[in-house]
Structure 1
Amino acid sequence: MTDLRIRAAGPEDLDAVLAFWKVAAEGTSISDDREGVERLIARDPEALLLAEADGEPAATVIAGFDGWRCHLYRLAVHPDRRRQGIATALLTAAEERFAALGGRRADAMVLVRNERAGHAWTAAGYGPQEQWRRWVKHLVS
Structure 2
Amino acid sequence: MTALALRYARSDDIDAVLSFWDEAAKGTSITDDHDGMARLLATDPRALLLAERDGVLVGTVIAGFDGWRCSLYRLAVHPDHRRQGIAAALLERAEQRFAEVGGRRVDAMVLESNESAHRTWAAAGYGREDHWRRWVKPLEESPA
Root-mean-square deviation over aligned CA pairs: 0.6
Q: What 5-or-longer segments of structure 1 have no aligned partner?
A: none
> CA deviation digits over 1:24-83, x for unaligned, max 9?
000111110000000000000000000001110010000000001100000000000000
- What SS does the aligned partner of 1:45 have? coil
Report the counterpart of residue 107 of structure 2 in structure 1. 107
Q: Aligned letter for 2:132?
A: W
Q: Aligned letter for 1:82?
A: R
Report the counterpart of residue 53 of structure 2 in structure 1. 53
Equivalent-residue separation in structure 2 for 1:137 and 1:111 (angstroms) = 17
Q: Aligned letter for 1:116?
A: S
- What SS does the aligned partner of 1:137 have? coil
Report the counterpart of residue 129 of structure 1 in structure 2. 129
Report the counterpart of residue 44 of structure 1 in structure 2. 44
- What SS does the aligned partner of 1:135 have? coil
Equivalent-residue separation in structure 2 for 1:3 and 1:92 (angstroms) = 16
4+ residue runs of structure 1 moved beyond 6 angstroms? none
1:20 counterpart = 2:28: no
- What SS does the aligned partner of 1:62 have? strand
Report the counterpart of residue 63 of structure 1 in structure 2. 63
Q: For this pair of structures, how many residues does the alignment match?
A: 141
Report the counterpart of residue 85 of structure 2 in structure 1. 85
Equivalent-residue separation in structure 2 for 1:127 and 1:2 (angstroms) = 32
Q: What 5-or-longer segments of structure 2 have no aligned partner?
A: none
Equivalent-residue separation in structure 2 for 1:107 and 1:125 (angstroms) = 12
The farther-off stretch of 1-10 and 73-82 is 1-10
Return the TM-score normalized by structure 1.
0.98
Report the counterpart of residue 116 of structure 1 in structure 2. 116
Shift of 1:3: 1.6
